[in-house]
Every structure is written in C-alpha cells, then in structure tokens.
Amino acid sequence: MSILLIKNLYAEVDGKEILKGVNLEIKGGETHAIMGPNGTGKSTLASVIMGHPKFIITKGEIILDGKNVLDMAVDERSRAGIFLGMQNPAEVPGVTNSDFIKTAMNTRSEEGKSISLFKFIIQYDKAVKELKMNEDLPHRYLNEGFSGGEKKRNEILQMKMLNPKIAILDEIDSGLDVDALKIVGENITKMKSPDLGLLLITHYQRLLEYISTDYVHVMMQGRIVKSGDQKLIERIDQEGYDWIKEELGIDDERVFIEEEEERIILGTCATKEALDL
C-alpha cells in the first residue's frame, strides 16, 4: 500500500503564489475528492504533484512511500507510480496513441526488457472495449482531433494500462456525456484496490455517484479549507460554497485577491485622473 503525503506545500508561478500551505495524505485504497470554486488552485496542486516545471515549490514537502517526490523528474514520478489524468490533455501530433502508451509501459519494465507486443495488444484491446472507445483510436495521433469526451476516456485508458499507485484525475468528468460519465465512473471504480490511492478533482456530485469517496476536501485561496465525507459534496451540490465561506470568514476564495484589489484601486484612480483632466 502506497502513501502520498503533502505537507505545508507552497508553490508559485511567475512570482505569484498559488498554493499556500496544502496538507493532504492519500493512502492506497482511499478515494479523496477535491472540490472548490474556479481558480482556487486545484489543477495547480495536481500539476505540482506531477512535477510540471513551470511551478516553483517555495516551501513544504511531497513524499511518496518515504521518498522525496520533489527531488524526482516527471518521468521518475510516473515510474514511481504517480499518474495524472489532465483537465486539458495535450495533443501530440506524430505520436500514435498506442505507441505513446507502449513506450510509457516499456519504461516501467526492467532495463533491457520490453512488454511483449502480443500481451500489449490484448491488454490494450480489452481496455478500449471496456471504455467503449472507437477502434481507430489506438492508431490515431495522441489526442489530435479527439473530441472532449474522447480525450477524457483516453486519460482513463492510459491509467488502466499503467496501473498507477496514486492517480490524480483532474475534472475527468468534464466534457463527458451521461453515458460516458457512467462508463468512466464504472471503469475507475473497477480499478479500485488497496494498491491504488485516488484523488478526484471535480465540480459536481455526478461523477461521485459512480465512484464512492472516503474523503471530500474543499480548496479555497490555495489551500484545503474544509474536509468531510460524502455529505459535504451533497451540501455543496445543493447550496454552493457561500455557506463555507461564511463559516470560515472567507470573503474571496481566489488565490490572487490582493493583486486584483490593487488593480481595482489603481483603475479607479486612473479614471478619476482622466476625469479631472
């Protein structure tokens, strides 16, 4: 069983602090959901765990099974068992979908050994069928021209093939029609095991109707401000976030409040000056 530990994590981009003290522990077998209004740092947290180079970690730790994740390059993190299903998967013309996954799987096998093509095809076909994906998808370039829903299913296809220890799925439900949502939800639930810790970033209860969650966290101002269970999702779905903001005395949930306020003040002054002229 793996444990991902995030301790007092601070991260910035272009000198702007986005994550401001995130604490989270995900153990194998557990499913966590992170919810929260737009622009509160959810995708940033996902990118930082996976090692996106544009973010600078200024404080805190990320530890996977006792190893310092912050010391690892992105590919090492992936080989260590961390997987990120992205909110907006990139298109990679020139690399076929199946070549991409096969290469990722080969880098996981022992040095010099590669997965047998026969085994790969059987496993790949099974995953494509289970996700009810089009049969031509394996031969098309990675995500190029894929519909929004196809891109999301393709992230789950990769997850099925790579068998991660910790999977972070960032808005995997967005862009999915109701039937696809059910298929994706059921496929994720089928993957649940004591060897898989799941972190689902989502805005809606819908996905979580197919995937039971143990913990629900709310992110605001770049940190987790409230944690609870399934009941928390139900209340957010019905009432939104205002009651949480009121309860915690949060006026503005976004990460860049000071700067925006500064802009408004500057803007007002500039207008006044213009009027005075």
Q: Which residues bind Mg ion (CB under 5 A)?
A: 42-43, 87
Q: Which one among 43, 98, 154, 221 touches ligand ATP, defined by CB under 6 A? A: 43
Is residue 39 part of the contact set for ligand ATP (CB under 6 A)?
A: yes
Q: Binding of ligand ATP at residue 44 (CB under 6 A)?
A: yes
Cβ 120 to ligand ATP shortest distance, Å:
33
Choose, by CB under 6 A, the member of 15, 38, 118, 135 that binds ligand ATP: 38
Residue 29 or 39 with smaller CB distance to ligand ATP: 39
The only residue of 13, 95, 115, 162 in contact with ligand ATP, by rule CB under 6 A: 13
Nearest to 132 by CA among 201, 185, 205: 185
CA–CA distance from 3 to each of 52, 82, 164, 196 (Å)? 21, 11, 12, 10
Whole-number Å distance between alpha carbons of 69 and 43? 18
How far does Cα 173 stand from its chain's mean position? 11
Binds ligand ATP by CB under 6 A, chosen from 8, 54, 88, 121: 54
Q: Which does 54 bind (CB under 5 to 8 A by kind): Mg ion, ligand ATP, none?
A: ligand ATP
Closest CB to ligand ATP among 29 and 37? 37
Give yes or no for residue 89 binding ligand ATP (CB under 6 A).
no
Nearer to Mg ion, 29 or 37 (CB): 37
Would you say 223 and 195 are in contact if contact means Cβ atoms under 8 Å apart? no
Distance CA 199, CA 218 (A): 13
Terminal-to-terminal C-alpha distance of the chain: 69
* Radius of gyration for the chain, computed over Cα atoms and rounded to the nearest angstrom: 21
Per DSSP, helices labelled H in 80-116 are 97-106
Q: Which is nearer to Mg ion, 27 or 203 (CB)?
A: 203
The reply on whether position 221 binds ligand ATP by CB under 6 A is no
d(CA 237, CA 80): 35
Report the distance separating Cα 236 and Cα 239, nearest Å. Answer: 5
Residue 120 touching ligand ATP (CB under 6 A): no
Which residue from 11, 35, 64, 255 is in contact with ligand ATP, where contact means CB under 6 A?
A: 255
Site for ligand ATP in 17-36 (CB under 6 A): 18, 36
229: three-class secondary structure by DSSP: coil
Contacting residue, 42, 153, 165, 217, with ligand ATP by CB under 6 A:
42
DSSP 13: E
Structure tokens at 163: 């068998």
Does the protein bind ligand ATP through residue 14 (CB under 6 A)? yes
> Looking at beta carbons only, is 56 or 121 nearer to ligand ATP?
56
- Name every residue whose Cβ is closer than 8 Å to that of residue 32 and which is 6 or more positions away in sequence: 24, 26, 197, 198, 199, 200, 213, 214, 215, 216, 217
Q: Which residues bind ligand ATP (CB under 6 A)?
A: 13-14, 16, 18, 36, 38-44, 54, 87, 255-256
